[in-house]
Amino acid sequence: MSNLAATLFALNRKQEAEKYWLEVVKFAPSHFEAVEHLVGLLCTDHRGKEAVKVIEYVERSLRHVEIERNDSLKAPDRQSDCGSSSTSRSPCISETSDKMYFDFDAEANGTARDPRQAPVSTEPGFGSSGYAIPGSDNGRILSLIHAKGNMLYALGDSLGAARAFEDAVLISAGRRFHSIQGLVQHILSVVTQDSNGVFTPAHTTRISADPILLPPDRALRIANLCFPYNGELPGLKDVPDAPQSLAKRAAISTTSNSLLSLAKILQDGMSSIVRTNEVHKPATGVRDILALYYLSLALQPSPSTANNVGILLAGIQQSVTRPPSKSSSAFLIPQIPGVIPGSGIALALAYYNYGLNLDARHAHLYTNLGSLLKDLSQLQAAIKMYEQAVSCDPKFDIALANLANAVKDQGRISDAIVYYKRAVDSSPDFAEAVCGLANALNSVCSWQGRGGIVADCGTRDRWHVDNTGMLLDAKHPGAVSSGWIKRVVEIVEKQLSDGENWGRGVLDGCIESMVMQLTKLDSLRNGGSHRAEFIRKTLDSWRGQKWEGARSVRIVERATRRIGWQWYQDKHVKNVQRPSSSYTRPQLPATLTVPTAPTVLPFHTFTCPMSAKQIRLISQRNGLRISSSTLRAPWLPNLVYPPPAPPNPFLRVGYVSSDFNNHPLAHLMQSVFGLHSAKRVKAFCYATTASDNSVHRQQIEREAPVFHDASSWPAERLLNQIVQDGIHILVNLNGYTRGARNEIFAARPAPIQMSFMGFAGTLGAEWCDYLLADETAVPPETLRPWRRNVDLEDQIEEEDKGDEKQQDDWVYGENIIFCRDTFFCCDHRQSAPDAQEKQLSWEEEQKRRWEMRKELFPQLPDDAVIFGNFNQLYKIDPTTFRTWLRILAHVPNAVLWLLRFPDLGESHLRQTALDWAGAEVASRVLFTDVAAKSTHIARARVCDLVLDTPECNAHTTAADVLWSGTPLLTLPRYRYKMCSRMAASILKGALPKSAEGKRAAEELIVGSDEDYEEVAVRLGRGLRYETRPGSVGAGAGKGRLVELRKLLCEARWTSALFDTRRWVSDLEDAYEEVWRRWVAGEGGDVWLEQVANGAKGQGVSE
């Protein structure tokens, strides 16, 4: 009958063939030829679900009950496993399966023989697969079950697919393991290394929880170690292996692929956002997944397996205990700074290289190798790998987007835009490509098709740009959001919405364990049981709800912080002795995965028209990702980090930064670390990047009391050094900027942690306790209502109010230290090019300025008014540029001076000016190249009025121009975005504390785009220069702008902004106050106006 079906199929009579093959399968499920033909036919017709039912029918029919019942007697070498998978095991004999019913009538009087009732056959290997078939057919049932796994995966049933792949692997293993976990334990035991790095059986040795790091050559030997007789799989020993037969080779290949597929599903499960409602597999970590990959690779060397192993190893932060052997060096990529031989990263490089030796056209391997090289600061090498990937697959969207990111970092914006567009063309919904393209286009002011966001009555993103490059008014009736900026915001909104469900269900089954961890110290106090019950009810109310994962992480972090405080109280205040186990670090729920971060990063929100809630949630998601990853790191100790000894007499303050080089942060803060009062604060600097030998780095190294070059240190070493240094307050000078080591802060090595100067916004993370700010930069109404931030009850109060507060426009959950003056530090009085020169008179200053103007713009008329902006062009938005063009139109003798920052932006802005304002106005937009820092500060005085960018202000640049004496006009467009309010704070700090200074601040800090335009036009029209040739007063001007310039020039030697000693003294006041509060168990925001100035706080030395 099967032959008849095959003939009908060959005649293209598929329906008849299907009918006959179904009859054969029903009455002879072990007729594998018919089963395979039927499954193939169904798959060809895209009827995967029916194909799965056929295979499941065959499985149920052939399940050999007698073999299962007596398996322990017939397989004396069965391995006992340490655990089982409740979701991946094969059905046991006590389970009943529904009979499969086909949609056709059985033949009259036809009765199918049940193979499970047949006597045990004498054929070799009969039943060894767990099915009533001879061993020679094990490869065929294996192939069917593997195919079932592939179909289930394609149908979206990852859990069912994992079960199928597991069953396939266990068939090949001869059913010697009850579950895949038993096989994993066996693999781990046989590859445990002795001190010489030689493989030895380790059945009696406790297997480490850390991943076993094996180079490729050692991984290839695992099959021989796991299975005797040269690695022959027990379940396949009876499969034909004649020279003319490929059956055994195919079965081994299928087994390897099943291991690969199972490991990949488990690997994907580690990062999934939401747990399903099905029965869950016990948490599978990197160690177990690597073991499966190793065996897969040993059975069949595969570039895909090598790729997946590389991905896993690249994320392992495990310490290296011994160097690799000489035989392991064949696949290593040498001479990469900072890569420790034998580490996870070094081995990842080796596996990528090994995979490429197997397949030199494997696009994924090139892409992942490129990404790892980019992370290792090998940008040019990374670009070459991405280019290789794209040459292998010109439509590979991930490689195209990664290549775009890399060439953008290299300054090749035009090339980046081309690659981003290719990635979007290949995959229009690829979020990374869409957002990358948007950022690249925005960075060069290529706004055609940008569109805009209609929200907040058009005030958030007033002027949109259509597909022709022309303006649309968001306040116009019927205006709608559109363009690529709309796509970006929609992508982020969906990601944030999906993220609300991250970790839902993780508290199932672990609430009691969590309660014990969170209230461990309470058991020694009166009332501890009541508090435990309160925590228990709280956790139970969170279970199964939105934000469950986020709440679980934050309460664990708050408990960690509180345990550290209790340890300090016990040791240094109350002199209470407790066992060290009392200070055990609370653990995250075992099944909680690491969440994905939104595609738009916190830094990108500076120039993206987003709401307060969106900005807050983006930062929170990034903070949670860092926390979740760090709190599972193998180097994290079981105990919380021990608290430092009390200050005696000074506080030990640590500064962590990647920017102690020729970087704006170092320009601004280079004198700070040496200016601390030796009686109040001792500064410890931890540089996470290597020295560039700049004068800025040299000064910081020279003047800081303690300076550590931690550029090559792994996280564990840096954390141990911070603890060893006894740091009381740890300062994050990066925030969410490039080079940040935020995992250090997530590990909580210091009692108090804060952030300032590096990132102009909220970190949204429990590992940041304080931000340094002022009421201009951070208006109090943008703070979260609940401000205490001390104990678990505070955290619960915050979370319980969270649902009803999610729509509110608060941004800052951290406590704020509100400074007396501007929170911004600027060291120009010590380090600016002219700081050490003779102070010029007002007349001399005007003369110097005029000479520099003539040198820089020799063709400019004497009566020209120079408006300018020296920011990177990404800070300019359509609304702002439209306003600038209108200002030029109303001040006909004015020019607008911009920088080629980057140079590609010049052509876009010139064309936009021509389209929006006409040729005459466009001709008055001037560009110059970016200058060196010293020249940039000096030539800023040539400008008459700097027009700030309201979307994202000038920060360091604002301080530069104000030092030069040039007035700055700014608009704090958003209440909730610090980046749009910084210039106002800086400007206030630069002006004198007088009635004239207050008047100037009110004039130069405006409240709307309309006011911005009106003030700029008025100031520009009111400026007049003495233009008589040879006149003594040539270059002397008249008008309000000249008055403002004189005010700023004369104030810079006494203003708060440039008084670094004043700033450091205020900072020390802040440090002492927050330390006093921490010791006393107090929380809340700090207003330095209410703190004694320069006096040591009472809590500084106990």
3-state secondary structure 399-423: HHHHHHHHHHHCCCHHHHHHHHHHH
Q: Name the residue among 725, 976, 686, 675 with its Cα closest to residue 827.
A: 675
Would the pLDDT of 201 be above 70? no
By the 10 Å C-beta count (0-12 exposed, 13-18 middle, 19+ buried), 695 is classed as: exposed
Confidence band for 64, pLDDT divided at 50, 70 and 90: low
Number of other residues whose CB lies within 10 A of the CB of residue 261: 23
Question: What mean pLDDT is predicted for residues 623-639?
Answer: 94
Confidence band for 631, pLDDT divided at 50, 70 and 90: very high
Q: How far apart are alpha carbons 750 and 762 in whole angstroms? A: 20
Would the pLDDT of 78 be above 50? no
For 783, the 3-state DSSP assignment is strand
Find tokens 């500076």 and name the residue: 606
Question: What mean pLDDT is predicted for residues 188-203?
Answer: 57
Handedness of CA 166, 170, 171, 172 (dihedral sign): positive
pLDDT single digits (tens) 419-456: 999 999 999 999 999 999 999 999 999 999 999 999 88
For the chain, the average pLDDT equals 88
What is residue 229's predicted lDDT score, i.e. its pLDDT? 77
What is residue 1025's predicted lDDT score, i.e. its pLDDT? 92
pLDDT single digits (tens) 308-331: 999 999 988 655 555 555 555 556
Would the pLDDT of 114 be above 60? no
Would the pLDDT of 284 be above 80? no
Find tokens 């990528």 and name the residue: 352
Would the pLDDT of 105 be above 60? no
Contact 886, 1015 (CB under 8 A): no
Percent of the chain whose predicted confidence (pLDDT) is above 70 = 87
759: which 2 tokens? 């990132």
What is residue 1015's predicted lDDT score, i.e. its pLDDT? 98
Question: What mean pLDDT is predicted for residues 140-148?
Answer: 96
Question: What mean pLDDT is predicted for residues 1079-1089?
Answer: 96
pTM more than 0.85: yes
Question: What mean pLDDT is predicted for residues 821-843?
Answer: 91
Q: For the CA atoms of 35, 36, 41, 46, what is the dihedral angle to 10 degrees?
A: 100
Of 525 and 405, which is predicted with more confidence? Answer: 405
Contact 528, 522 (CB under 8 A): yes
DSSP state letters, 700-715: HHHHSSEEEE-TT--H
What is residue 1095's predicted lDDT score, i.e. its pLDDT? 53
Q: How far apart are alpha carbons 59 and 25 in whole angstroms? A: 11
pLDDT single digits (tens) 752-769: 999 999 999 999 999 999
185: which 2 tokens? 């334990």
Cis peptide bond N-terminal to 649, omega within 30? yes
Please report, as a single letter, which amino acid is at residue 652. Answer: R
